[in-house]
Amino acid sequence: MLSGSDWRKIRSLINETTANKTSKEVKKLNRSLHHMSVKMAILKHENKGLKDALRIKKKQKKKSYSLHLQNNEVVDHGGAVL
């Protein structure tokens, strides 16, 4: 079984099995095949990028905890007191 990325092999197979290689129907079939193969390759590439982005986002998503530096005391954040 040929994959969509092997559009050249599929095209040659179509040309071998058809009697009139220059007919409009065969040319239309070849163009459609090429268009679908290119579209599938673009979608695969986009899908891989989205999966990578999701993996990175999940990796960065960690629960953060605040540090308790002083026990039950008011923490001075360096602000001016008037």
> What residue type is assigned to position 38 of the chain?
V
Instruction: Express each pLDDT in 53-68 by its tens digit.
Output: 999 888 887 767 777 6
Tens digit of each residue's pLDDT (9 = 90 or more) over 3-59: 666 777 888 888 888 888 778 888 888 888 888 888 988 999 999 999 999 998 888
Residue 27 CA to chain centroid, in angstroms? 30
Written as six digits, the tokens of 70 are 């002083």
Q: Are 52 and 20 in contact (CB under 8 A)?
A: no
- For residue 42, the SS3 value is helix
Which pair of tokens denotes residue 60? Answer: 């960065």
The closest of 51, 53, 13, 19 to 33, measured between CA atoms, is 13
Domain boundaries, the chain: 7-60
Does this model's pTM top 0.75?
no
Q: Please, are residues 10 and 2 in contact by the beta-carbon 8 Å criterion?
A: yes
